[in-house]
């Protein structure tokens, strides 16, 4: 039976506590990872963990048997009288047979390798399931965080942090379960065997070697931690600058800034180069120190055994055995040093990911939130106040209503708070005070999923996925048929353009839709909103990227789409809202004027002033076009069409 992780209920990302983030220790990390290594709802994975432990024990027994077969083979070859053979005792005869012991030595080494690899193969599904589950939960959590969080982060740096965090999780899971625990068991058993087969001096020498080895490893690794952190930071910085520059490829070209961008990137890579050199140099120092410490311990035990052979207390087989056991000890001991380094480095790598997980969503559903039930689509703002920064209020007691099935437009100078209204209605932020109601339901008391499912959004800045046109339109309603996708494209006046492309609806739009023009991207955005068919439409500069001819076509399509739907239109171009049932003019977060287009022109206020400026700009542009057609050079540039909207106020 296939197992899926489609549910977000029990699997919802749980924020990491601040206390855990501050500790960032192995124990704390394991405590957080354990539910994913031993998942309560996956009996098959639990059995894999159990079988891995069983194979681990068998493999260690085989490992410890190898030096004994080596000793018995040497003693048999040298004729050492350590086990007098009697013809009736077949077990002693086997031990005394050098050929049998040599074959046993090889067989045990093969068995040890097979069991170890078998164990790793069985546990791989457990480890990678834990990595996948945590990556999924982190991805979900990232989408639950507020728009404010994402606006304050650099995408390249954030993806790099998550990438290293995912790798760090895999390292910790595999290292601890498959390497650290087996190594501790093996070292302990080897100590016991040394005490049993030799005496306390061997044990003491070995214990001193282990303690000094681990202490040196600890000190050297702690020294390397800061070096590793600086290398990670410089790597993140370089990656962030690279992605930022490539995402703004056209801007770089417009200003001929290729050399400047390359220099910025090279400076970051220079810091990364210095940090990397220090990292590898410090690793060489660590490895050298470990090798010297262990070699001294190995030499001391072999000298004691050599003296024992000369005095007759030990055989040549014992000498070979103690060497084999110390070499056997070196592998897990050296691995413990490597495990410690890797785990410490992995903790550093996932440190920042845990910080992301510790972030609590700014906007979240209240306990027991019910789905929004849209009966007619009436929208009402009641004394709404909001500020991105507590010291600067954006909306100052805004109250208005969008009646069901009607179209209300919001216009005003830049910085008046127009786009903020769309973000609040979509609940990308929560209001500071007041109420936003849809059919009498406070949007803070309903689920975010149901709220957003009821609103169709055409944003000012349309960003498309790097996929096909069909994929981007179908994003509006994933279960839509191809025919429905194409019908939505027709309503958005883009179907004919798509069909002229060699690949039609399978045409790739490129990164962020850069292969399409601004108008084409906007029409794709309109098409996917049409496909969504929501009861409420929110148009934030839906025709801002279109030429006048196309704008009229799109306006017709939007009017057809918005018929019998509640529509809130945010506009700079006043010509796009003349047919609205009501126009609300915002100025510095307050309603300055409201009424129909004709009523507002009659009052000769702010709206009339903006309308006249835009008309003048349009007439100047048309005149310039006529002069250009006659071959005469214009004396001056016409004022921008949006000059009437420009104010020194900050961006919305």
Both 523 and 540 in one domain: the answer is: no
Single out the residue of 417, 422, 423 nearest to residue 362, CA to CA: 423
Looking at the chain, the number of H-run helices and the number of E-run strands are: 21, 10
Average pLDDT of the chain, as a whole number: 78
- Residue 381 in any domain: the answer is yes
Q: Are 52 and 177 in contact (CB under 8 A)?
A: yes
State the Cα angle at 301 between 298 and 306, rounded to 5°: 120
The predicted structure's pLDDT at residue 16: 46
Residue 87 has pLDDT above 60, yes or no: no
Single out the residue of 476, 486, 489, 566 nearest to residue 523, CA to CA: 489
Give Cα separations from 171 to 38, 52, 159, 277 (angstroms). Answer: 17, 17, 18, 23
Which segment of 130-139, 409-418, 551-560 scores lowest on mean pLDDT?
551-560
Phi, psi of 308 (to 5 degrees): -65, -35
- Residue 9 in any domain: the answer is no
Residue 290 has pLDDT above 90, yes or no: no
CATH number of the domain within which 50 lies: 1.20.1560.10
What number of other Cβ atoms are within 10 A of residue 82's Cβ? 15
Q: Which of 533, 567, 594 is the last residue of a domain?
A: 533
SS3 of 97, please? coil
Q: To 10 degrees, the CA torsion angle through 232, 236, 237, 243?
A: 160
For residues 622 and 275, the model is more confident at 275
Q: What is the DSSP secondary structure assignment for residue 508, as one 8-state letter?
A: B
Both 524 and 638 in one domain: the answer is: no
- Residue 13 in any domain: the answer is no
Scanning the structure block, which residue is given the tokens 């990232």?
142
CATH number of the domain within which 395 lies: 3.40.50.300
For residues 192 and 584, the model is more confident at 584
Phi, psi of 398 (to 5 degrees): -85, 130
- Residue 581 in any domain: the answer is yes
The predicted structure's pLDDT at residue 83: 45
Both 115 and 177 in one domain: the answer is: yes
- Residue 7 in any domain: the answer is no
What number of other Cβ atoms are within 10 A of residue 456's Cβ? 24
Q: To 10 degrees, the CA torsion angle through 308, 309, 313, 316?
A: 130
Distance CA 562, CA 406 (A): 9
Both 544 and 524 in one domain: the answer is: no
Q: Name the pLDDT band for 644 (thresholds 50, 70, 90).
A: very low
Both 577 and 609 in one domain: the answer is: yes
Distance CA 407, CA 571 (A): 12
Both 344 and 286 in one domain: the answer is: yes
Please state at what angle helix 316-358 crosses helix 200-247, rounded to 10 degrees: 30
Distance CA 11, CA 136 (A): 9
Both 52 and 199 in one domain: the answer is: yes
Q: Name the pLDDT band for 648 (thresholds 50, 70, 90).
A: very low
The predicted structure's pLDDT at residue 298: 85
- Residue 1 in any domain: the answer is no
- Residue 37 in any domain: the answer is yes
Distance CA 394, CA 389 (A): 9
Both 544 and 515 in one domain: the answer is: no
Which segment of 294-308, 345-359, 403-417, 637-651 scores lowest on mean pLDDT?
637-651
- Residue 53 in any domain: the answer is yes
> How far does the chain reach from its first CA to its final CA, in angstroms?
52
How do residues 434-468 score in pLDDT, each as one tens digit? 999 999 999 999 998 899 888 888 877 777 888 88
Scanning the structure block, which residue is given the tokens 């546990």?
123
Both 287 and 418 in one domain: the answer is: no
How do residues 512-565 score in pLDDT, each as one tens digit? 677 787 778 888 888 888 888 888 988 887 666 566 666 676 677 677 777 778
Q: Name the pLDDT band for 379 (thresholds 50, 70, 90).
A: very high
How do residues 273-288 score in pLDDT, each as one tens digit? 888 888 888 888 888 8
The predicted structure's pLDDT at residue 619: 72
Q: Which of 505, 533, 561 is the last residue of a domain?
A: 533
Mean pLDDT for 116-140 is 82
Burial class, 377, CB count within 10 angstroms (exposed 0-12 / middle 13-18 / buried 19+): buried
As for how many domains the chain has, the answer is 3
Both 342 and 407 in one domain: the answer is: no
Written as six digits, the tokens of 606 are 């702010």
Both 127 and 266 in one domain: the answer is: yes
**Most confident among 138-147, 339-348, 398-407 (mean pLDDT):** 398-407
The predicted structure's pLDDT at residue 437: 93
Range of the domain at 573: 372-454+536-652
How do residues 20-52 score in pLDDT, each as one tens digit? 444 457 777 777 778 877 887 888 888 888 888
Q: Structure pTM?
A: 0.62
The predicted structure's pLDDT at residue 626: 64
State the Cα angle at 29 between 10 and 231, rounded to 5°: 120
Residue 569 has pLDDT above 80, yes or no: yes
Q: Name the pLDDT band for 5 (thresholds 50, 70, 90).
A: very low
Q: Which of 332, 358, 384 is the last residue of a domain?
A: 358
How do residues 199-235 score in pLDDT, each as one tens digit? 888 888 888 888 898 888 888 877 877 787 778 788 8
Mean pLDDT for 293-301 is 87
Residue 350 has pLDDT above 80, yes or no: no
Both 406 and 342 in one domain: the answer is: no
Scanning the structure block, which residue is given the tokens 């506590």?
17
The predicted structure's pLDDT at residue 204: 87
């Amino acid at each position: 039976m296939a197992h899926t992780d489609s549910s977000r209920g029990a699997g919802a990302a749980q924020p990491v506590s601040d206390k855990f983030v501050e500790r960032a220790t192995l124990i704390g990390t394991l405590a957080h990872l354990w539910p994913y290594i031993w998942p309560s709802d996956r009996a098959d994975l639990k059995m894999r963990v159990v079988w891995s432990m069983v194979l681990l024990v068998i493999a260690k027994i085989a490992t410890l048997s190898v030096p004994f077969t080596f000793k018995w083979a040497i003693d048999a070859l040298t004729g050492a009288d350590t086990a007098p053979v009697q013809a009736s005792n077949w077990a002693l005869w086997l031990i005394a047979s050098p050929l049998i012991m040599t074959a046993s030595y090889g067989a045990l080494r093969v068995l040890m390798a097979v069991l170890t690899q078998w164990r790793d193969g069985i546990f791989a599904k457990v480890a990678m399931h834990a990595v996948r589950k945590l990556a999924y939960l982190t991805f979900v959590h990232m989408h639950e965080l507020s728009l404010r969080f994402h606006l304050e982060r650099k995408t390249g740096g954030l993806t790099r942090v998550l990438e290293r965090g995912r790798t760090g999780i895999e390292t910790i899971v595999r290292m601890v379960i498959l390497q650290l625990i087996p190594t501790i068991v093996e070292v302990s058993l080897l100590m016991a065997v040394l005490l049993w087969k030799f005496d306390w001096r061997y044990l003491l020498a070995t214990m001193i070697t282990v303690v000094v080895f681990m202490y040196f490893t600890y000190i050297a690794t702690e020294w390397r931690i800061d070096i590793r952190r600086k290398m990670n930071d410089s790597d993140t910085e370089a990656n962030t600058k690279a992605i930022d520059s490539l995402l703004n490829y056209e801007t770089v070209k417009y200003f001929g800034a290729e050399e400047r961008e390359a220099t910025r990137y090279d400076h970051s890579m220079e810091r990364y180069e210095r940090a990397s050199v220090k990292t590898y140099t410090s690793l060489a120092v660590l490895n050298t120190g470990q090798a010297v410490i262990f070699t001294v311990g190995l030499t001391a035990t072999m000298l004691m055994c050599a003296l024992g052979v000369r005095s007759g207390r030990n055989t040549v087989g014992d000498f070979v055995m103690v060497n084999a056991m110390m070499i056997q000890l070196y592998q897990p001991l050296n691995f413990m040093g490597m495990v410690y380094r890797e785990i410490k480095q992995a903790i550093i790598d996932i440190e920042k990911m845990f910080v992301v997980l510790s972030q609590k969503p700014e906007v979240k559903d209240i306990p027991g939130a019910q789905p929004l039930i849209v009966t007619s689509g009436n929208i009402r703002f009641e004394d709404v106040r909001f500020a991105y920064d507590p010291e600067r209020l954006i909306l100052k007691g805004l109250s208005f209503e969008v009646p069901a099935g009607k179209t209300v437009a919001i216009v005003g100078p830049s910085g008046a708070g127009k786009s903020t209204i769309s973000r609040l209605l979509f609940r990308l932020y929560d209001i500071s005070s007041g109420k936003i109601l849809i059919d009498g339901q406070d949007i803070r008391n309903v689920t975010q999923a149901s709220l957003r499912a009821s609103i169709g959004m055409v944003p000012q800045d349309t960003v498309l996925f790097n996929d096909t046109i069909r994929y981007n339109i179908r994003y509006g309603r994933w279960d839509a048929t191809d025919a429905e996708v194409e019908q939505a494209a027709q309503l958005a006046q883009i179907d004919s353009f798509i069909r002229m492309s060699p690949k039609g609806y399978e045409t790739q739009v490129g990164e962020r839709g850069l292969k399409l023009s601004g108008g084409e991207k906007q029409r794709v955005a309109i098409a996917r909103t049409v496909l969504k068919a929501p009861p409420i439409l929110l148009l934030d500069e839906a025709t801002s990227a279109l030429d006048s001819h196309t704008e009229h076509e799109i306006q017709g399509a939007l009017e057809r789409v918005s018929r019998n739907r509640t529509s809130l239109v945010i506009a700079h171009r006043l010509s796009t809202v003349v047919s609205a049932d009501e126009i609300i003019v915002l100025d510095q977060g307050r309603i300055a004027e409201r009424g129909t287009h004709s009523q507002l022109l009659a009052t000769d206020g702010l709206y009339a002033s903006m309308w006249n400026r835009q008309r003048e700009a349009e007439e100047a542009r048309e005149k310039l076009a006529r002069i250009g057609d006659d071959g005469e050079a214009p004396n001056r540039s016409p004022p921008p069409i949006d000059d009437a909207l420009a104010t020194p106020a900050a961006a919305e």
